[in-house]
Chains A and B, each alone.
Chain A
Amino acid sequence: MTVPYEHLREDFKILQQHVNDEPLVYLDNAATTQKPEAVLKALETYYHTSNANVHRGVHTLAERATTQYEGAREKVRRFINAPSTAEVLFTRGTTTSLNWVARSLGDLIIEEGDEIVISFMEHHSNIIPWQQLAKRKGAKLKYIELTDDGKLDMDDAREKITEQTKIVSLVHVSNVLGVVNPIRELTDYVHDKGGVMVVDGAQAVPHMPVDVQALDADFYAFSGHKMMAPTGIGVLYGKRKWLEKMEPLEFGGEMIDFVELQDSTWKELPWKFEAGTPNIAGAIGLGAAIDYLENIGMREIMDHEQNLVAYLMPKLEEIEGLTLFGPKKASDRTGVIAFNIDGVHPHDVATAMDMEGVAVRAGHHCAQPLMNYLNQPATARASFYLYNTVADADKFVDALKATKEFFIHGLD
């Protein structure tokens, strides 16, 4: 399928504006993505026609809302090829998903002296829940090293993951390096050692086909807002054998079967984890975002981003004094490009590029241990998505060159 990218932008009203008198080039997609009309329309239609609470009403609207909410769960299941909707939990986002695993699974299986293994390229949301678990239980938290070109050091991974390792939690795609990690290979290794594999898929699911059964991961977490859905909705996929043993973290309405004075019983999966009124509109919006992405095709989206990276890399490498982080080969990565200009602080870079209408992120990207590992106080980061074009890439390079010129030589 050939995607008419120049028309695709028309689905995103927000992209059709000027920022600081320049046409907006939005390159902060690793932080959050823009929403197409189809997603906004789905939210509006839900509130106009079907808004009611789910799972408890007999009336028509309650039935409609429940059907649409559970319909969204089925869309997610199909999208990531989960075996059943019982294994697809709606959460607030990746952070909540990972916290749930660290709390509930962690309390179930981690004992004093056990090992938990993560890597130096993790987002804070895949570090701190494990730090806290390790502190609660007296377990040991270990970090897998990286290679010089920003990949996971597989030799070190085999060294760090041992028979004492109960949980390994790794990012599928780094939000700084853009590198795609070999999850299946790692999962097999973890399972051989008797551990549980948890995957942070926040930067993967929006950008490439993800099949949780093919990856064989025990848990897989991602966020809606990074894939064109609203904020506040996310997913935790978990294998039934674990979810059934795990205790819910929140208690209240929606998640119970019978409540007696001193004890209660839980609903079956997936609802035992979803206490309170869920983010119904968010889930429906996520369903609409999945429809939008599937209509284009995840393989096509991945190819488009890699083509942009392949187009950009030689142009970026030509710029003197520009440091690029992560692998150079487009096929090893997604459209996340972290960089620094020698002698110019990334915050100054981001402000200057904003004046050119180019929105990039600057800072530690919620990955302070990675920044220390790379020996950088911070970096700038451009992250592309399917609505970005070659023209955006050209504008990015031009703005980068002008920014460098401004800070090195000043405006004459």
Chain B
Amino acid sequence: MALTKLDQLYRAVILDHSQHPRRRGVLDKATTQIELKNPTCGDVIQVQLTVEEDKITDVRFDGSGCTISMASASMMTDAILNKSVDEALTLVNEFSEVVQGNKPEHEQELGDAMMLAGVSKFPARIKCATLSWKALEKALGSDGTGVDGQLTHD
């Protein structure tokens, strides 16, 4: 039956992250936080970070969304914890390559997030996968000092 093809998209690891997300919740003391919405599907994500001396020492996410967006957020927190701001921003770029079907340089660092490579075969769902990573990128800001606030993107 045709649903077997769904395995490319919904690997067991992805379903596991979606059903048992890592670091879902709220930080008491976040140095930077952001909320991003995907207006086309109603997904909302909040990402909170504690950045100390250029290092991400803690991270939480919350929000509502599909399996792909929630799993991706969970995987992202695994990948960026204890990374420097620059390292995290590099991973954002790498992840965006992965979901477009390209091979990243730092496969190891992306960890479980590599499992989302199958999204490239489902173009309508790429935005679901990148939502939390975009939120992270906005939160860190290009100069690494971070921004507080609310943003939407399409």
Hey, which bits of chain A sit against chain B, CB under 8 A? 20-22, 344-348, 351-352, 355-357, 362-364, 368, 371, 377-378, 402-403, 406-407, 410-411
The answer on a CB contact under 8 Å between B3 and A402 is yes
The answer on a CB contact under 8 Å between A377 and B3 is no
The answer on a CB contact under 8 Å between A411 and B4 is yes
Residue of B nearest to A344 (CB): B67
Contact of A345 among B5, B9, B12, B65 (CB under 8 A): B65
The answer on a CB contact under 8 Å between B125 and A355 is no
Within the assembled complex, what's the spacing in Å between the Cα atoms of A352 and B128?
15
The answer on a CB contact under 8 Å between A347 and B3 is no
The answer on a CB contact under 8 Å between A363 and B40 is yes
The answer on a CB contact under 8 Å between B5 and A348 is no
Smallest CB–CB gap between B117 and chain A, Å?
16
**Interface locus among B23-31, B41-49, B102-110:** B41-49
* Total interface residues in chain B, CB < 8 Å: 25
Contact of A21 among B2, B10, B40 (CB under 8 A): B2
The answer on a CB contact under 8 Å between A352 and B3 is yes
Smallest CB–CB gap between A395 and chain B, Å?
11
Chain B residues, CB < 8 A from A411: 3-4, 6-7
Chain B residues, CB < 8 A from A406: 3, 6, 10
The answer on a CB contact under 8 Å between B68 and A348 is yes
Chain B residues, CB < 8 A from A357: 2
Within the assembled complex, what's the spacing in Å between the Cα atoms of A362 and B44?
16
Contact of A351 among B64, B65, B122 (CB under 8 A): B122
Hey, which bits of chain B sit against chain A, CB under 8 A? 1-7, 9-10, 12, 15, 40-44, 64-68, 122, 124-125, 128
Chain A residues, CB < 8 A from B68: 347-348
Residue of B nearest to A379 (CB): B42
Contact of B6 among A346, A352, A362 (CB under 8 A): A352
Q: Which 10 residue pairs across A and B have the least CB separation, nearest first?
A: A345-B66, A377-B42, A347-B66, A378-B42, A355-B2, A348-B67, A348-B66, A356-B2, A22-B2, A364-B42
The answer on a CB contact under 8 Å between A377 and B125 is no
The answer on a CB contact under 8 Å between B1 and A410 is no
Smallest CB–CB gap between A5 and chain B, Å?
25
Smallest CB–CB gap between B35 and chain A, Å?
14
**What would 8 A/B residue contacts be, using CB atoms closer than 8 Å?**
A21-B2, A346-B41, A351-B125, A362-B41, A363-B42, A377-B43, A378-B41, A378-B42
Within the assembled complex, what's the spacing in Å between the Cα atoms of A410 and B10?
9
Within the assembled complex, what's the spacing in Å between the Cα atoms of A293 and B153?
41
Residue of B nearest to A347 (CB): B66
Interface centre among B2, B4, B9, B12 (most CB of A within 10 A): B2
The answer on a CB contact under 8 Å between A410 and B2 is no
Within the assembled complex, what's the spacing in Å between the Cα atoms of A403 and B42?
21
Chain A residues, CB < 8 A from B122: 351
Chain B residues, CB < 8 A from A345: 65-67
The answer on a CB contact under 8 Å between B5 and A347 is no
Smallest CB–CB gap between B139 and chain A, Å?
22
Residue of B nearest to A22 (CB): B2
The answer on a CB contact under 8 Å between B3 and A356 is yes
Residue of A nearest to B64 (CB): A377
Smallest CB–CB gap between A221 and chain B, Å?
24
Residue of B nearest to A20 (CB): B2
Chain B residues, CB < 8 A from A371: 42
Within the assembled complex, what's the spacing in Å between the Cα atoms of A347 and B70?
12
Interface centre among A21, A22, A345 (most CB of B within 10 A): A345
The answer on a CB contact under 8 Å between B41 and A347 is yes
The answer on a CB contact under 8 Å between A402 and B1 is yes
Within the assembled complex, what's the spacing in Å between the Cα atoms of A356 and B2?
5
The answer on a CB contact under 8 Å between A20 and B5 is yes
The answer on a CB contact under 8 Å between B67 and A407 is yes
